[in-house]
Amino acid sequence: MEEKHLSEWMERHGVKPTANRIVIARALAAAGRPMSMTELETVVETIDKSNVFRTLQAFREAHLVHVLDDSGDGVRYELCHSHRDGEDDDVHVHFFCEKCHRTFCLEDTPVPPVSIPEEYAVHSVSYLIKGLCKDCR
């Protein structure tokens, strides 16, 4: 994603597009898969750990990233490409490789619908499949 588009995208969600935020968003976009904070810090080594953390928190609060727990080395982040405010239409299945510990987006595989009792309020959905990726098979 180009810097101009990243800036506009952040502004639409009420996030000020600072230089660090643009670098972090660009790194997430370029990865093509969810990244852990450690992976992200390695890619954006010019930005200190606390700034990376604060940026991810700001993105999370503004619904600019999906946050998923892959049961590997912790939480991973990916840019959210939802087209509607208040409703996430970018929900898809993720695959965690038990050998290389990478998480992949299966964007063409939607999360199957699940019926839950009325007294529960769903805030997010995460659907994770575990196994071996094509490189590790």
* Domain 3-131, CATH number (from 1.10.20.10, 1.10.10.10, 1.10.540.10, 3.30.1490.20): 1.10.10.10
Which pTM value belongs to this model? 0.74
Please tell me the distance from the alpha carbon of residue 75 to that of residue 70, in angstroms, as a whole number. Answer: 7
How many degrees, rounded to 5, is the angle at CA 18 between CA 16 and CA 23? Answer: 125
Say which residue the tokens 């969600």 belong to: 13
Q: What is the pLDDT of residue 1?
A: 59
pLDDT digits (tens, 9 = 90+) for 66-122: 888 766 567 889 888 654 455 445 677 889 888 988 888 888 888 888 889 999 998
Longest Cα–Cα distance of the chain, Å, equals: 48
